[in-house]
A and B are shown apart, each in its own frame.
Chain A
Amino acid sequence: MQIHKHTKTLLIPVLLFGLAATGCTPKQAESSTASADGKVEIDFWTFWGSETRRPIIEKIINDFNASQDKIIVKHTYLPWGDIWTKNLASIAAKNPADVIINDIASVDQRASKKQNTELTAYLEQDNIQDRFYESLWDNVLYEDKAYAIPFNTDTRMLYYNKKAFREAGLDPEKPPATWAELEEYAIKLDKKNGNVYDQVGFHPLWGDFGIDNWLLNADGGKGFFDNDNNMYINTPAKVEAVNWIKSWNDRLGKKNVDAMQAEFGSEQSNPFISGKVAMWIHQGTFATQIRDYGKDMEVGVAPIPEKTEGSGHYSGGGGFVAEIPYGAKHPDEAWEFIKYLTDYDAQKYWAVKNFDNVANKEAASDPELLSDPIYKAAVENLEVTTHFRAPIAVPDFKNLITPQIDSALLGNITAEEALAKAETDVKSMIQQAGK
C-alpha cells in the first residue's frame, strides 16, 4: 500500500493547481478593499524597516488613520533595492501597492514607462505644489505634469574636525572655502608616520561625494546634462576637475589611497568619526552618526569648497518621493494619504526625528529645527544643491563615463582623452536610442 501514500503526496500539488485555476484558493490573495467597518484599506510600501525609522513612519501612519474615518493605511516594509523589483513585478501583474516611496532622480523615467500615476487632476483639486522647494518640484515633472510628490531630500556638506584643526594650527572657525585652500589645509592636517598615514587631511573621493559631484561642483553646478538635455561632458572645467582629483592620488600615493579607500568603503568603521581623516563630505543626516558614535567630537560644517572664488559652492543631492504606482486600486485614497504625508505636521515630525531635510519648506525651516547649527547649514545648502537627471533616452549613460575617468585616474590616458572618449560614446548611445 506504500504506493498510495506516495501518489497522494504527488497529487497534492496537482490538486493545488486545480484549485488555483478555478480560483478557490484557501486564502484570497486579493487585498480586501473594504475592512469590516466600511473603511478602505490601502497598501503603503517603504524601505524604512530599521529600528530608528520604522517607528517614525508608523507613528505618522497611525496619526493619519486616527485623523479620519474613511481610510486605513497598511504599512509594508520591503528591503532597500528589492522594493523596486517587487514594485515592477506588481505593476506588471496589475496588482501594485497604493502608495510607494521611490527615488526622486528617476520620477520622469518611470513616468515615461507608465509606472506611476499622473497627478494633474488631483493637483487641480488640491493645489499643494507651493509647499515644496522649487528644485524638488522640477524633479517630479514629466512633460510638465506631476507624477509624484516630494517627500524628503538630502544635500552634501563638508564636515571637519575642529580638534584636528587646532592641533594643525588652523582656525577652527575658518573652514576651507576654495579647492586651493582645501588642499593647503589637507597638507597641514596630514600626519605621516614613516610610510603610513596616522591621519589624512582629506581626499576628494572618500566620503559621500564622488567624482560626478566634483565635476558638477567645478562646472558651475552643471551635471552631465541639464534639464533640457544639453550635454556637458567634455568641458574644460570638468577636465580640470579630473586632473585635480588625480593630483591628490599622486601626492598621497595611489597605493595608500587605494588601501584607505578599500577600508572606508567597507561601510563599517568611519574614518572621520575615528579621527583618521580630518575633513569628510557627507549628507546632513551624518550628524546623527557623529552624535551617536563620535564621543566628544567637535565638528564644524561648511559648504563644499568652490573651484575658485566665485565659481560657486555647488553640491549634489537626492531624495525620495511618494507616488501612486500605475494601476493602483485606490488612487483617490492614496492621494489623501500622500497629502497628509507631505503636510506640515508629518513632515516636521519626520525632520525632527530623523534630522532629515524634508521637502515641505515650512516644516523644513521650523525655528525649533533651525536652532541646530548643522541642520540649519543643511537647509541653507539646499540653495546650491543640484539634482542629477538622466535623459529619458539614455538613463544609463554614466556607464560610458565612469570607466574612462577611472582609466584617467589610473594614469592610462589623459583627462582630456577620457572625457572626449566618454562624450563620443554617449553621443553614439543617444543616436542609437533615437533610432
Chain B
Amino acid sequence: MGQAYSYSKGEAELVQPSLHKPGRRLPLRKVLIFTFLCAGSVLFLLPLWWMISTSLKSMQEIAQYPPTFIPEQFHWSNYLETWTAAPFTRYTMNTLLLTFFAVTGNVIVNAFVAYGFAKIRFRGKKLWFSVLLSTIMIPGFVTLIPQYVLFSKLGLVGTYYPIIIPQFLGSAFYIFMLRQFYLTIPTELSEAARIDGAGHFQIWYRIILPLSKPGLAAIAIFAFNGAWNDFLGPLLYVNDESLYTLQIGLQSFRGAMQTQWNYLMAGSVIVLVPMILLFFLFQRYFIEGMNLTAGTKG
C-alpha cells in the first residue's frame, strides 16, 4: 500500500534511462518532428505577423489596396500613441486586479469542489453533477438580463463584485475538468491514506493537489485568459470609466464609421504579451511529469 506514494519525480528518473548519451546521433524521428513543428509554427505565426504588421502601419498605408505584407515605414510610435490614447495604465491595473481574483478564486475553489465530485461517495452526487453540467448548456444571453437585475437588486451594479464574487463560487467548466483529472489518479493512493486515518481534507491537500499540478496550471492559465479577455462582464456591471478594463479600452478604437486599425492591433498585441509570458512560465508544470531527465530542459 505504501508504495502507492511512489509517483515522485525522483522515482521516475531512476526508472527512466537517459535516452541521450552525448555523442549519439539524433534519431530520424526527432528530426522529422522538429521539421514538422517548424513548418507548423510558420503557418501558425503568419496570421500574427499580419496583426503586428498592421500595428506598425500608418492609417494611410492601411487604406491602401492591395494590403502590404510588410509596412513601408515602421511606425513604432503607434504603440506609444495607443497607450496614451486612452488611460491604459489605469485599465491595466484594473484588469490585473480582476485577473488576480479570478485566478486565485478559480484555482482554489474549483480544486476543492472537484474533489467532492470525484473522490467522495455521497448521496445525491449524480443529481448535483447533472445540474452542474446542465448549467453550462444554457446560452448566456437569456440569463444575462435576469442576472443583471439580480445584482442590481443586491445593490452591486457599479462595483466589481458581480465580476469577482462568481469567481469564488466555482465554475462548472473547471470543476468538470478537474474532476476528470482527479479521476485519473489511482484510488489506491487515497484509500491507503484513509486507512491511515487521514480525513478528506488532508487527502485533498496532501495527495491530490500535488498530483494534479498540471491540471491546476491549466486552470490558472485558462482563468487568467478568461478574466484578461473578459469584456461583457466589466462593461455591463461597471458604470464608471475609471473602472474600465483593457478590453473595453481596445474597443474605443472601433468607431461606428471608422476604425483605427493600427491602434486596435497595437493594443491587441500589447494585451497579448502578458498571456504569452504567463504560458511560457507556467509550462514548467507541463514538463515536470516525465521529461525531466538530467541535462535536458524542455
Partner-B contacts on A (CB < 8 A): 2-3, 6, 9-10, 12-13, 16-17, 20-21, 23, 25-31, 43, 47, 49-54, 76-80, 82, 85-86, 88-90, 92-95, 263, 267-271, 273-274, 276, 283, 285, 289, 292-295
What residues of B have a CB within 8 angstroms of the CB of A2 in the complex?
A: 205
Q: Is the CB of A295 within 8 A of B60?
A: yes
Q: Is the CB of A29 within 8 A of B236?
A: no
Q: Is the CB of B159 within 8 A of A25?
A: yes
Chain B, residue nearest A45 (CB): B239
What residues of A have a CB within 8 angstroms of the CB of B157 in the complex?
A: 29, 90, 93, 95
Complex-state Cα separation, A281 to B108, whole angstroms:
57
Of A49, A86, A274, which one neighbours B65 at CB under 8 angstroms?
A274
Chain B, residue nearest A26 (CB): B159
Q: Is the CB of A77 within 8 A of B63?
A: no
What residues of B have a CB within 8 angstroms of the CB of A276 in the complex?
A: 65
Q: How far is the CB of B111 from chain A (nearest CB, A)?
A: 10
Chain B, residue nearest A50 (CB): B255
Q: Is the CB of B108 within 8 A of A25?
A: no
What residues of A have a CB within 8 angstroms of the CB of B66 in the complex?
A: 263, 269
Q: Is the CB of B252 within 8 A of A20?
A: no
Q: Assuming A79-B252, A274-B64, what are 14 further A-B pairs, CB within 8 angstroms?
A: A2-B205, A6-B112, A9-B108, A10-B109, A12-B168, A47-B256, A49-B251, A76-B239, A82-B231, A88-B145, A93-B152, A271-B65, A274-B63, A274-B65
Complex-state Cα separation, A313 to B59, whole angstroms:
33
Q: Is B261 an interface residue (CB 8 A)?
A: yes
Complex-state Cα separation, A267 to B232, whole angstroms:
24
Complex-state Cα separation, A20 to B165, whole angstroms:
11
What per-residue 1/0 map shows which CB atoms of B229-259 lie under 8 Å from chain A?
0011001100111000000100111111111
What per-residue 1/0 map shows which CB atoms of B247-275 lie under 8 Å from chain A?
01001111111111100000000000000
Complex-state Cα separation, A292 to B258, whole angstroms:
12
Q: How far is the CB of B232 from chain A (nearest CB, A)?
A: 7
What residues of B have a CB within 8 angstroms of the CB of A95 in the complex?
A: 152, 157
Q: Is B207 an interface residue (CB 8 A)?
A: no
Q: How far is the CB of B227 from chain A (nearest CB, A)?
A: 16
Of B62, B145, B232, B257, which one neighbours A82 at CB under 8 angstroms?
B232
Q: Is B161 an interface residue (CB 8 A)?
A: yes
What residues of A have a CB within 8 angstroms of the CB of B62 in the complex?
A: 268-269
Q: How far is the CB of A280 from chain B (nearest CB, A)?
A: 12
Of A3, A13, A54, A82, which one neighbours B235 at CB under 8 angstroms?
A82
Q: Is B144 an interface residue (CB 8 A)?
A: yes
Q: Is the CB of B64 within 8 A of A27?
A: no
Q: Is B12 an interface residue (CB 8 A)?
A: no
Complex-state Cα separation, A82 to B254, whole angstroms:
12
Q: Is the CB of B232 within 8 A of A269?
A: no
Q: Is the CB of B165 within 8 A of A13?
A: yes
Complex-state Cα separation, A34 to B144, whole angstroms:
31
What residues of B have a CB within 8 angstroms of the CB of A268 in the complex?
A: 54, 62-63, 67, 259, 261
What residues of B have a CB within 8 angstroms of the CB of A30 in the complex?
A: 155, 158
Q: Is the CB of A85 within 8 A of B236?
A: yes
Chain B, residue nearest A2 (CB): B205
Complex-state Cα separation, A216 to B154, whole angstroms:
50
Q: Is the CB of B254 within 8 A of A80?
A: yes
Q: Is the CB of B65 within 8 A of A31?
A: no
Residue of A23, A27, A49, A273 with most partner-chain B CB within 10 A: A49
Q: Is B148 an interface residue (CB 8 A)?
A: yes
What residues of B have a CB within 8 angstroms of the CB of A93 in the complex?
A: 148-149, 152-153, 157
Q: Is the CB of B65 within 8 A of A270?
A: yes
Q: Is B49 an interface residue (CB 8 A)?
A: no
Complex-state Cα separation, A213 to B277, whole angstroms:
50
What residues of A have a CB within 8 angstroms of the CB of B258 in the complex?
A: 50, 289
What residues of A have a CB within 8 angstroms of the CB of B221 in the complex?
A: none
Partner-A contacts on B (CB < 8 A): 54, 59-60, 62-67, 85-86, 104, 108-109, 112, 144-145, 148-149, 152-159, 161, 165, 168-169, 201, 205, 231-232, 235-236, 239-241, 248, 251-261
Q: Is the CB of A76 within 8 A of B65?
A: no
Q: Is the CB of A29 within 8 A of B156?
A: yes
14 pairs, CB–CB < 8 Å, chain A vs chain B: A25-B156, A47-B256, A50-B254, A77-B241, A77-B252, A78-B235, A79-B248, A85-B144, A89-B144, A90-B152, A263-B65, A269-B67, A273-B63, A276-B65
Complex-state Cα separation, A16 to B109, whole angstroms:
16
The 3 A-B pairs at the shortest CB distance, nearest first, are namely A93-B152, A49-B252, A29-B158
Q: Is the CB of A80 within 8 A of B255?
A: yes
Complex-state Cα separation, A293 to B63, whole angstroms:
7
Q: Is the CB of A29 within 8 A of B108?
A: no
Q: Is the CB of A293 within 8 A of B161?
A: no
Q: How far is the CB of A72 from chain B (nearest CB, A)?
A: 14
Of A51, A78, A271, which one neighbours B85 at CB under 8 angstroms?
A51
Q: Is the CB of B256 within 8 A of A80?
A: yes
Q: How far is the CB of B24 from chain A (nearest CB, A)?
A: 47
Residue of A6, A26, A88 with most partner-chain B CB within 10 A: A6
Chain A, residue nearest B104 (CB): A9
Q: Is the CB of B158 within 8 A of A31?
A: yes
Q: How far is the CB of B95 from chain A (nearest CB, A)?
A: 16
What residues of A have a CB within 8 angstroms of the CB of B144 in the complex?
A: 85, 89
Q: Is the CB of A76 within 8 A of B241?
A: yes
What residues of A have a CB within 8 angstroms of the CB of B168 in the complex?
A: 9-10, 12-13
Complex-state Cα separation, A90 to B165, whole angstroms:
20
CB-CB under 8 A for A89 and B145, given A2-B205, A95-B152, A269-B62: yes
CB-CB under 8 A for A79 and B108, given A13-B169, A269-B67: no
Q: Is the CB of A79 within 8 A of B254?
A: yes
Complex-state Cα separation, A86 to B273, whole angstroms:
30
Complex-state Cα separation, A289 to B59, whole angstroms:
10
Chain A, residue nearest B68 (CB): A269
Q: How far is the CB of B74 from chain A (nearest CB, A)?
A: 18
Complex-state Cα separation, A30 to B165, whole angstroms:
19
Of A10, A47, A89, which one neighbours B236 at CB under 8 angstroms?
A89
Of A31, A273, A293, which one neighbours B239 at CB under 8 angstroms?
A31
Q: Is the CB of B145 within 8 A of A92?
A: yes
Q: How far is the CB of A358 from chain B (nearest CB, A)?
A: 15
Complex-state Cα separation, A30 to B148, whole angstroms:
14
Q: How far is the CB of A58 from chain B (nearest CB, A)?
A: 11
Q: How far is the CB of A86 from chain B (nearest CB, A)?
A: 6
Q: Is the CB of A285 within 8 A of B257?
A: yes
